[in-house]
Amino acid sequence: MFLAGTTGFDYRNMTIAPDAAAQCTQALKNISEALCEAGSSLADIVRIRYILPDSDDFEPCWPTLRNAFADKPPAATMIIAGLYDPRMKIEIEVTAKISA
């Protein structure tokens, strides 16, 4: 399963927190919910890409990421690039396996 363009928006309310750490937490929640609908979970992620406009925003995300992937960290890449909406501090793409 491929999930791309997942941001820190709370899509139910169309709100977004102002800081990268909160956006990272929400993005992982959005990813977790999508994976769950497909019969998968965060534990099934094998590849992850973090896209941030500002590299300084990555460090505040570490506690959330360590907590989410402590048992089995996926292969990861961080990319510095502009995002569509200037309020966005992080976008996350994942590749996850789905059990047949």
Position 36 scores a pLDDT of 94
Regions in the chain scoring below 50 on pLDDT: none
- The number of domains in the chain is 1
- pTM of this structure: 0.93
- Parent domain of 64: 2-96
Q: Is the dihedral of CA 29, 34, 39, 40 positive or negative?
A: negative
Measure the CA–CA gap between 71 and 17, rounded to whole angstroms.
Answer: 27
Measure the CA–CA gap between 72 and 11, rounded to whole angstroms.
Answer: 28
Position 100 scores a pLDDT of 61
- We report the CATH number of the domain holding residue 91 as 3.30.1330.40
Position 53 scores a pLDDT of 97
